[in-house]
Structure 1
Amino acid sequence: MTYCVGLKLSRGLMFLSDTRTNAGVDNISRFRKQFTWSVPGERALVLMTAGNLATTQSVVSLLEERTKAPSDRRPSMLELPTMFQIARHVGETLKEVIHSSAVSGQSADSSFNSTLILGGQVKGMEPRMFMIYPEGNFIEASDDTPFFQIGETKYGRPILVRAYDPNMAIEDAAKLLIVSFDSTIKANLSVGLPLDMQVIERDTLRLGPSKRIEADDPYYQTISNGWGNALKRAFDSLPPFTF
C-alpha cells in the first residue's frame, strides 16, 4: 500500500509520500514514489504514484525517456506549454502502460491500475495540481478541493480536513503533513517510513526545499510523540459523558 498527499497553498505546492510497498506481510520493500523534473526559471514538476509498482515504474521511465531521447522528445513534459497539457500527457502515458499490460486491455478493476498526483508550475501560469486516474482522465485541485490523497487515505484525512489553511506557512504545512502521515503509519502497517517531502514555492519556477524523513528523524519523533500526548490531553479536557 501507499500514502501520498499533495497540498495546494497560496504560497505554492507541497508533496509528501511514503516509501513502503508490500505484496503480503512477508514481502515488504522500499521504493521511491515521488519523482521530479525541473527546468529552472521555466518550470518545476512533481509526480507521486500509488498502485501497481510495475505500472508506476513503467510510467515514470517512459516520461523520463521522453524528456531525454531525441527521437522520443515529443511530447515531453519539459516542452508542453501548460500544466493541463502535461497532465493530459501523463494520463495518456498511464493509460498506455495499463492497456499494454492487461491481458484483455484496460479495465476498471485491472490489477495493473495506478493513480497519480501531478503538480507544478509553468512560467507565466498559476501553480496547478491534478489527480490522474487509471483511465487517463483527471481532476484538478481547487479552493473547494485543495488537497489530494492517494493510497491509504482514511487515517490521515481527518487532520487535513480540520487543520488545513490555504494561507498557512510552508513550515506549518510540513508539520500538518507529518501529523497526517504519523496517524496513518500508526494505524496501517502497509504505510511506512522513510518519507519524501518536496516543496514548489510559487513563482520560483524551480524545485524548492526537499527532505527525506527517516524513522529516527528527531523532528518526526517530536511530532509523533507530541501529537499523541496532545490528543490525550484534549480528550481528558472534554466534559464527561452522563447517562
Structure 2
Amino acid sequence: MTYCVGIRLHAGMVFLADTRTNAGVDQVSTIRKLSVFENPGERMMVLMTAGNLSISQSVRQLIANPPSTDVVNIWNAPNMYEAARVVGEAVRTVHRQDAAKLAESGIDFNISLIFGGQIKGERCRLFYVYSAGNFIESHDENPYFQIGEAKYGKPIIDRVVAPQTSLDDAAKCALISMDSTLRSNISVGLPLDMLVYEEGTLAVTRFVTIDEQNQYFQQLRNSWGQQLKHVFEEIDAPVWDAAPDATENVLSSANMHSKPVRVALPFGMQSAPSPAPLQALAEQPQPLLPPGPQH
C-alpha cells in the first residue's frame, strides 16, 4: 500500500511519500512514488501516486513524455490548472488502454494522485487527482491532501497544520503523521522521500530520502512517543456518579440516568439472580454488618 501527503502553505509546499509496495506478504519491495518535473527558474512540480503500480507507472510515463510538443503538456502548460488537466488526461488514456483487460482479470482500475507545485507567474497550487481523471484543488480551508493509508496520519495534521504554518513545522507534522502510519500499518514502510519547497524558488532546494538511520527521524519518533505517554498520564482518570460540580473530570454525574440497551433473554431461559448494583468510582464500599439483631 502507500501513504503520501502533500501540504500547501503560504510559505510553500511539503511533499512526503513512503516507498513500500506489496502484492502479498511475500512480495514486498521498494518503489519510489514521488516524482519531480522541474525546469529550474520556470517551473517545479511534484507527482505522488497510490494504487496499482502498473497503472501509476504508465501514467507517469505518459506525463513525462508527451507525444507532441504542439499540444499542452506538463512542460509547457501555462499554469498549474492546465498542468493538472494534463495529469488527468494521462489517467484517462491509461484507463482507455488497460481498464477493460484489467477487469477481465478481476483487477480494479485503482489509482489516486497528489499533484502540486509552481509555475512562474502564479502561486503554489495543489491538486488531488482521482481514478476518473477529474481533480479538486486545495484551498486555505483544506491545505493538504493524503492518498493511500490516510486515516492513521490524519488527526495530527488536522490539529496542527494551517495555511500560515511554517515549512519546518509542516515538515515535522508530516513526519509525525507518517510515523503514526508506519506504527499502525505494515503495508507502509521506509525509506521515505520528502521534498520541502519554498514559494518562488522554482527549483528543488530541500529534498531528503529518510531511512532507518536518519538521525532526526529517529529522534522525532522516540520523542513523540514519550511525549504522548506523558500527556496521557497527566490527564485525570474519569469519575463516575459524582456530583456535577465535585470535580472537573466527572464522566457520569449523580443526576444522570443512563442505561445500556439490554437484549432480552430468549423465551424459556431462566434469568440469573440480579447482580449487585454497579459500584461507581466515586463511591466507597459499605462495611458488612455482623450477624445478629439489628437496631
Range class of TM-score, shorter chain = over 0.9
What one-letter code is carried by the residue in structure 1 that aligns with 2:45? L
Mapped pair 1:83 → 2:75: no
Mapped pair 1:72 → 2:68: yes
Shift of 1:54: 0.2
**Residues 156-193 of structure 1: CA distance to partner in whole angstroms, max 9, x if unpaired?**
00000011132222221111111000000000000001
- Between the aligned partners of 1:127 and 1:15, the Cα distance in structure 2 is 13
Shift of 1:81: 0.3
Equivalent positions of 1:1-243 (< 5 A) are 1-66=1-66, 72-73=68-69, 74-103=71-100, 111-243=108-240
8 Å CA contact retained: 2:3, 2:50: yes
- Between the aligned partners of 1:220 and 1:104, the Cα distance in structure 2 is 42
For 1:49, what is the secondary structure of its paired residue?
strand
Q: Which moved more, 1:168-177 or 1:121-130?
A: 168-177
**Residues 68-116 of structure 1: CA distance to partner in whole angstroms, max 9, x if unpaired?**
xxx533332110101000001100101111221112699xx96232100
- Between the aligned partners of 2:135 and 2:162, the Cα distance in structure 1 is 24
- Between the aligned partners of 1:222 and 1:28, the Cα distance in structure 2 is 27
**Residues 175-220 of structure 1: CA distance to partner in whole angstroms, max 9, x if unpaired?**
1111000000000000001000112211111123100001121111
- Please, which runs of 5 or more residues in structure 2 have no aligned partner? 241-295
8 Å CA contact retained: 2:63, 2:86: no
8 Å CA contact retained: 1:119, 1:128: yes
8 Å CA contact retained: 2:8, 2:138: yes
8 Å CA contact retained: 1:99, 1:105: no
TM-score (normalizing by structure 2): 0.77
- Between the aligned partners of 1:51 and 1:104, the Cα distance in structure 2 is 17
**Residues 95-142 of structure 1: CA distance to partner in whole angstroms, max 9, x if unpaired?**
111221112699xx9623210000011111111000000101000000
For 1:72, what is the secondary structure of its paired residue?
coil
Q: Aligned pair count?
A: 237
8 Å CA contact retained: 2:116, 2:125: yes
8 Å CA contact retained: 2:88, 2:135: yes
What one-letter code is carried by the residue in structure 2 that aligns with 1:120? G
Q: 1:239 to 1:90 in 2, by over 3 A?
A: same
8 Å CA contact retained: 2:44, 2:117: yes
What one-letter code is carried by the residue in structure 2 that aligns with 1:158? P
- Between the aligned partners of 2:147 and 2:179, the Cα distance in structure 1 is 16
Q: Which has the higher contact order (CA 8 A, sep 6+)?
A: 1
- Please, which runs of 5 or more residues in structure 1 have no aligned partner? none
- Between the aligned partners of 1:105 and 1:149, the Cα distance in structure 2 is 25
- Between the aligned partners of 2:102 and 2:236, the Cα distance in structure 1 is 57
- Between the aligned partners of 1:228 and 1:204, the Cα distance in structure 2 is 35
- Which structure carries more helix by proportion? 1
8 Å CA contact retained: 2:34, 2:48: yes
For 1:216, what is the secondary structure of its paired residue?
coil
For 2:118, what is the secondary structure of its paired residue?
strand
Aligned to 2:274: none
